[in-house]
């Protein structure tokens, strides 16, 4: 239900100049912040109690700029990010003339960064053990009527994984479209049926066929979703690792 296993090829820092993916391809970068360590104090052990929320945010910002800079041929400190509608992050057009578009998602110590060239992208990342307290109640409140009906018809044993899959797909969609979650999740419908490929079935304000949606699993711990506004979609997975 959560999608196929996606292989993430290991890439050690420092990153050399990266080439933007071709149209129809999205690069997905998976980061384990505890394994990468502090960018300000390389080699220092991570705290035994884990990272604070502030530390996680700072590290995500650092590694995002580092990665985008590798595509742009710039040091990470020279990458300027601004926000547009509903806070969607983009490269500052006043500073960068590039077709690069990106999306970032976080789940505990992990971070997922998606990169495309000239196509809107949204990503989401979830731990596979995550459990919603009342999945049908949430689906009734936030999802489309069609999605709620499909989820309500599932056996109880299949509902938690189906809901998590659906949530990840819908989060990726609202990020790609640049909309906030509030009042937006019910305005489009994704396929929630077990064992079937992720897909956008309908949209109120757009052409559903213009979007490609994929779900995937990453090892035993993680699952995610990515959507790109392009007629086709190929995924390339990379895991960012510390200096070898």
Break the chain into its structural domains and give their ranges: 4-241
Question: CATH number of the domain at 4-241, please?
Answer: 3.90.470.20
Contact 235, 217 (CB under 8 A): no
How many C-beta neighbours within 10 Å does residue 86 have? Answer: 14
Per-residue confidence (pLDDT) for residue 48, from 0 to 100: 55
Give me the pLDDT at residue 197, please. Answer: 92
| Segment-wise mean pLDDT, segments of 10 residues, the chain, 244 residues | 84 93 97 83 61 87 96 96 84 95 94 97 93 91 96 94 94 85 81 90 92 94 96 97 88
* Cis amide linkage into residue 14, ω under 30° from 0: yes
Residues whose CB is less than 8 angstroms from the CB of residue 97 and which lie 6 or more positions away in sequence, other chains included: none
Strand partners, 116: 101
Determine the pLDDT at residue 2: 58
How confident is the model at residue 155, as a pLDDT?
94
Q: Which two tokens stand for residue 30?
A: 């998976």
Rounded to two decimals, what is the model's pTM? 0.93
Q: Which of 115, 96, 123, 105 is nearest to 19 (CA)?
A: 115
In Å, how far are 30, 32, 70 from 241, measured between CA atoms?
9, 8, 15
Instruction: Tell me if 242 sits within 8 A of 38, measured CB to CB.
Output: no
Strand partners, 210: none
């Amino acid at each position: 239900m959560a999608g196929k296993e996606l292989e993430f090829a290991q890439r050690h820092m420092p990153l050399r100049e990266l080439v933007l993916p071709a149209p129809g391809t999205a690069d997905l970068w998976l980061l384990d912040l505890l394994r990468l360590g502090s960018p300000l104090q390389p080699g220092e052990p991570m705290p035994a109690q884990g990272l604070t929320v502030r530390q996680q945010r700072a590290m995500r910002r650092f590694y995002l700029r580092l990665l985008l800079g590798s595509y742009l041929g710039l040091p990470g400190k020279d990458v300027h990010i601004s926000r547009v509608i509903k806070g969607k992050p983009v490269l500052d057009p006043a500073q960068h003339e590039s077709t690069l578009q990106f999306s970032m998602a976080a789940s505990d110590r992990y971070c997922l960064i998606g990169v495309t060239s000239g196509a809107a992208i949204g990503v989401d990342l979830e731990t596979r053990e995550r459990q919603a307290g009342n999945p049908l109640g949430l689906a009734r409140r936030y999802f489309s009527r069609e999605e709620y009906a499909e989820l309500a018809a599932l056996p109880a044993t299949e509902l938690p994984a189906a809901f998590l899959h659906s949530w990840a797909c819908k989060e990726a969609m609202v990020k790609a479209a640049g909309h906030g979650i509030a009042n937006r999740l019910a305005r489009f419908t994704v396929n929630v049926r077990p064992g079937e490929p992720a897909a956008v079935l309908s949209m109120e304000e757009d052409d559903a066929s213009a979007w490609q949606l994929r779900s995937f699993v990453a090892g035993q711990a993680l699952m995610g979703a990515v959507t790109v506004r392009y007629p086709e979609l190929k995924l390339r997975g990379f895991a960012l690792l510390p200096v070898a």
